[in-house]
Amino acid sequence: MNNPTKPDEGATISCVVCLKELPADQASKVELEDYVRYFCGLDCYRKWQQQEGKAAEE
C-alpha cells in the first residue's frame, strides 16, 4: 500500500516552478502516480502544466 508522507511541521518546500521556499503547510500540492509536486500557488501550477504539455508534444 502506498503511504504518503507528510512534511515535518516547520519544514520548508521549494516550488517546482519558481523554486521559492515556503512553509510546507502553505504549499499547494499535486499528487501524481508515485510522487508529489509542490507549488507556491495557482500561477506556478499553471506554468508547470503548460511546460509539461509542451514537453509531451515534442
The tally of domains found in the chain comes to 1
Position 46 in a domain: yes
Asked whether residue 53 is assigned to any structural domain, the reply reads yes
pTM of the shown model: 0.56
The number of residues in the chain equals: 58
The per-residue pLDDT for 53 is: 79
Q: Looking at residue 43, what is its pLDDT?
A: 93
pLDDT in tens, 6-47: 555 678 888 888 988 988 887 877 776 677 888 889 999 999
Q: How far apart are CA 17 and CA 14, in angstroms?
A: 9
What is the residue range of 22's domain?
12-57
